[in-house]
Every structure is written in C-alpha cells, then in structure tokens.
Amino acid sequence: MNEQTERLTELVRGAARIVVFTGAGISTESGIPDFRGPNGVWTKYNPADFTIDRFLASAESRRRYWKRAAESWETIRKARPNAGHLAVVELEQMGRLSAVVTQNVDGLHQVAGNSPEKVIELHGNTRRVACLACKHSVERETFQALVSPEGDAPACEQCGGLMKPATISFGQMLDPETLERASAETERCDLFLVVGSSLVVYPAAGYPLMAVQRGVPLALVNLQDTPHDTYATVVVRAYAGEALPGVVERARAGTPTPFPLAN
C-alpha cells in the first residue's frame, strides 16, 4: 500500500457522510466501453448523429439511434458489477455513504446492491425506456424485444408519443431535481470521493469543486490526470477495483479520526 492509498484510507475512516462520484472509469472494468477513450463509443459513431434534435427530426434518425442503442444495450445487459462497485456498496453497509452521484447510465450501482434512493443518476438510466411526451416508462429489457432489427421502435402505449431510453442525449436538458439532489448531498458531505471520472463534463464536474470550496477533502481514484488534481487532498492512480476494496476494508477495521471541516 503506497502513501496515497494510505491517506485515502484515513480519509474514509474519518468520514461519516461520503459522496462517491463515479464516471465511466468504474464501469470500463465491467466491460462497458467509455465514450471518449481511444476505443470509446465515439470512435465508432459520430456524436452529432445522436443528439436529441436528430432523434426528433425523422423516423430514419430514430432507426439509426435504436440500432446503435441495441448494440450498447446488449453490452450493458451482460455486464456485472466489479470490485469497485462492491466496495461502494460496502461503504453504504458501513453507514458511511451519503450518496452515489454518477455520470454513468448503466445502473450497475443498483445491481451491485446500493439502495436506489442513494444513487443519483445525472445522465439517466438506460435500463428503462421513457416517453418523451408523458414520461410513462417501462423496463428496457421488455421494450428492447419489441424493437425491430431495422430499428423501428413502438410508440408509447399510454399516449402514442416517442419512446427513448431514459438517458440524457446531447442537447437534452438535465433534470433540475436530480441536479438539486446532487448539490444538496455535496453540501452535506464530509468527503467527496471521485472514482473513474475525467471531470471534463459540466455541470457534473462542478460538484467536486463545490465540496472543495466548503473545505471538504477531495479524493480522486483515476488512471489519468484530471483538471481537478491540483484541488485534491489525495490522488490515487489505480483501477477502482484494485484500490477501493482494500481501502474500504482497512477503513472498516480502523478507528475513526474525523476530519475537521472549514467553517
């Protein structure tokens, strides 16, 4: 165990209201490709083809969307939580986890065992499909079986509106209530732990800075540099599944040493 990992263990041991903020990096360890990496989704597809405006524009655009969505759904459907996800569940079982704020749409935190009410999904959840008009939603597994190989998707059974995975597309507004929940948890936390996020997408990347402004320690577990590294109390360069289980296990075994917050 290196010095940075030991420091992270001390921070977790002394915290009672941890916000864990996760990005694509924690899910790539479960076999879900990220969007912006060297082998990411956007190396195969043009992001401009998958904006909300393009989705609404024509039936052909929607068929293209659903054909790509079918491919990504099959990957997500088969994915299983990894050791990093399970370590976050253990934090909740220890009574230390205030919330998981995630940029991911794969639902793996809930599959791993985190309480759904603890998970704040900034960009939605691809495990459900929702009507853009009346918000009626159904399980993705059920709906996907009704989408044709050509990408023709059924209309909403309630109002006849367009159905779309319950995720945020480019150009689509994030849910204000979800953003407010994330802000409120950030304002209450005593440790902000970022796992596997590049911290380049706003407004999501602003939450760690909110915590820092309150004098709350910021911890980063990420393989690559981020724009927020200079603000962090500790930076651990490692896979989540390699670093987090040991940190959580040692924090559970130790004696809490609370970190004093700035006034």
What's the rounded mean pLDDT across residues 237-259?
84
Which token pair is 54?
Answer: 């393009």
Same domain, 200 and 242: yes
Who contacts 204 (Cβ-Cβ below 8 Å, separation ≥6)?
A: 21, 101, 103, 122, 123, 197
* Residue 262 placed within a domain: no
Same domain, 233 and 133: no
The answer, yes or no, to whether residue 2 has pLDDT greater than 90, is no
CATH code of 59's domain: 3.30.1600.10
Q: Is 123 a catalytic residue?
A: yes
Domain containing 73: what range?
41-78+127-167
Which token pair is 41?
Answer: 């989704």
Angle between helices 206-213 and 176-188 (to 10 degrees): 30
The rounded Cα 160 to chain-centroid distance in angstroms is 31
The answer, yes or no, to whether residue 60 has pLDDT greater than 50, is yes
Domain count, the chain: 2
* Residue 263 placed within a domain: no
Q: What mean pLDDT, rounded, does the chain reach?
A: 92
Of residues 85, 109, 123, 228, which has the active-site annotation?
A: 123
Same domain, 236 and 140: no
Q: How far apart are CA 242 and CA 89, in angstroms?
A: 15
